[in-house]
Structure 1
Amino acid sequence: MSKRCRRRKLPVTAAERHGSSSTPRTSRTIIRKFHTLLKQQKSAQGSTLANINLELEKLGGLERYQHMSCIGQGDDRGGGSDKVLIGWLKQKGWADQKHRLLDVGAVRPDNYHSCASWIDVTPIDLHSRHPSILEQDFLRMDQDCHREAWDIISLSLVLNFVPDGKDRGRMLVQAYSMIRPGGLCFLALPFPCVNNSRYMTLEYMRELMHAIGFSQLEERWKPGGKMIYWLYEKQPPPETRAGEHFSRKKVFRQGRNRNNFHIILPQLGMCCTT
């Protein structure tokens, strides 16, 4: 990466310590409320916007949201997905040479310290909680600087903390542009995001990623489990890109107990060129 690109990154903030007595149910409730307010904030104006901002402030603002997100990514809540990625990389012989990994939404800076001889990791987070984690909004990273710059991008428990379906789609498309040809994208989500959503299924997710240009190599989950993991390889984009098929929500399941997790892709022909 050039020095010019590095200077454009945001500065790293000092680490902050917080208690972690929140229960899983409390964390989920706070995160859902944040998601609702952040979604409303995008289109609100005037007094409505002021009231939403006040509600966000009462909840603790961005720092509180990030704190809940970090708790949700702990090992006791389905975190530790770096072990899954490391295992897959070793199986595929990727430990034989050095690779550059962008760890998006990193909670800890040392997840890959045991692989330092063959993984050069750059951990980033929207609101850094450690001086070794770069404070950086992934969606605002310079596209020219980072195009095809990474061998691997990890999006572990990241998409589910993005409140807007369109931004989730943008994130996946941006990851595609930033991974080198033949490089890998690691994706981890709470399993209910796929198997209990009104708008998602395993097959739909596979088709959506293929439309971007990702070929699925691995998938891991178990019935009743908390997490689902995927490993994708960047391939040339398909000749016929079914972008319209993924540009709006489609209902696959009915029922009051379903969640609303969904992903909406932008115009692929314009966003995924390499």
Structure 2
Amino acid sequence: MPKARKKKTPIVQKPTSDAARSSKPEVTRSVIREFHVLLKHQTQLQKNKAQNAATATELDQIEKRIAELGGLERYQHMSAVGQKDDRGGGSHKILIRWMKELALHKRAEEQGKLKLLEVGALLADNYQSCSSWIDCQPIDLNSRHPAILQQDFFLIDQVTNHAKWSAISLSLVLNFVPEPKDRGRMLRMAHSMLVPEGHLFVALPLPCVSNSRYLTFEHFQYLMTVVGFKQIQSKWREGGKMVYYLYQKQEPWVSHDRVLFSKKQELRTGPRNNFAVLLA
């Protein structure tokens, strides 16, 4: 009687139950949201000049919870998972399509490659397929790949980067900046760093605009105009998860209108989120 064959161990192991659960979209979103809340609260406490023992204890508790969740490494992993095409990600494909519709790839043949700054990059090869006409520099606060420059956007040298970039991508970046005034500062910095008529790509979770207490579609468009951006493309749908915008740099509005965006204004009532963008 022939011997029974020994069952081979598969080369690729089945994921553990924890790993399987962590790949589910609802788990991914939950982890990212909790990290967002923790990091925002941490930043606010660190900026508090009147720190005391209670503040130190609260900061310790936040750091402990971040560690329990797996640290910034897991947060970045979850964010990378969330960028997959089946999770509503792949925003770089939308930007590429819009740039081609503007014939920027043809312009690059005559004027040289477009210089693209990809802020908050989690994958190093998003624009590899366009390397013949896009020269992409991916950066992130905590780089996970040697090709991604570890760089705090707010610490970028404004002199050497003034009018340097053809395009800047802020995909799922603005919503992770803890302070509303810093979000406005990020937009103004991007404006300064773009070449004349350069392009800014912004991708946000749809509720940041559709369900905010302090922001509406019209309010955000007006704010971007004041900063110095003309909206030329937008993409979102009712019940969707994301909103995408493409702007072109123009002269900022220097008028009293800037005061409208210096403080939070309640534009909607009822159960809403508190996402806001302010101009100091």
Which whole-Å CA distance do the structure 1 matches of 2:171 and 2:128 have between them?
17
- 1:80 maps onto 2:82 in alignment: no
Q: Could you tell me which of 186, 190, 199 is aligned with 2:201? A: 186
Alignment-mate amino acid for residue 122 of structure 1: Q
Q: Which digits, 9 at most, give the CA deviation of each residue in 1:208-253, with x for residues without a partner?
A: 1111111111111122222211111111122325222112222222
The residue number in structure 2 matching 1:99 is: 114
Q: Counterparts of 1:122 and 1:140 in 2: how far apart (Å)? A: 16
1:222 match: 237
1:84-107 residue CA offsets vs partner (Å, 9 max, x unmatched)? 111111111211212100011112
Instruction: Give a deviation string over 1:56-93, Cα, whole Å, max 9, x none.
Output: 23223322222222222222222111111111111112
Task: Answer 1 or 2: higher relative contact order, Cα 8 Å, separation at least 6.
Answer: 1
Indicate how the Cα distance of structure 1 residues 70 and 85 shifts in structure 2: closer, same or farther if over 3 A, else same: same
Unaligned runs of at least 5 residues, structure 2: 1-18, 46-54
Structure 2 counterparts to residues 150-161 of structure 1, below 5 A: 150-161=165-176
TM-score (norm. length: structure 2): 0.82
**Residue segments in structure 1 that go unaligned for 5+ positions in a row:** 1-18, 267-274
Aligned pairs for 1:1-274 (under 5 A) are 21-44=22-45, 45-96=55-106, 97=108, 98-240=113-255, 242-256=257-271, 258-266=272-280
How many residues align? The count is: 247
User: What is the percentage of aligned positions where both structures have the same residue?
Assistant: 53
Distance 1:72 1:165, change over 3 A: farther
For 2:212 and 2:71, locate their aligned partners in 1 and report how far apart those are by CA, in whole Å.
Answer: 27
Q: How far apart, CA to CA, are the structure 1 residues paired with 2:77 and 2:180?
A: 22
- What SS class does the counterpart of residue 229 from structure 1 fall into? strand
Of 148-157 and 240-249, deviating more is: 240-249
For 1:106-139, what per-residue CA distance to the aligned partner results, in whole angstroms no more than 9, with x for missing partners? 1222211221111111111122222211121212
Query: Residue deviations 1:15-57, cap 9 Å, x none?
Result: xxxx683322222222222222223223433323233322323
Letter in 2 for 1:51: Q
8 A Cα contact 2:231 2:247, kept in partner: yes
Root mean square deviation, CA, Å: 1.8
Superimposed CA distance per residue, residues 187-225 of structure 1 (whole angstroms, 9 cap, x where no aligned partner) = 111212111222211101101111111111111112222
What SS does the corresponding residue of 2:95 show, helix, strand or coil? helix
| Contact 2:226–2:254, Cα closer than 8 Å, also in 1 | no
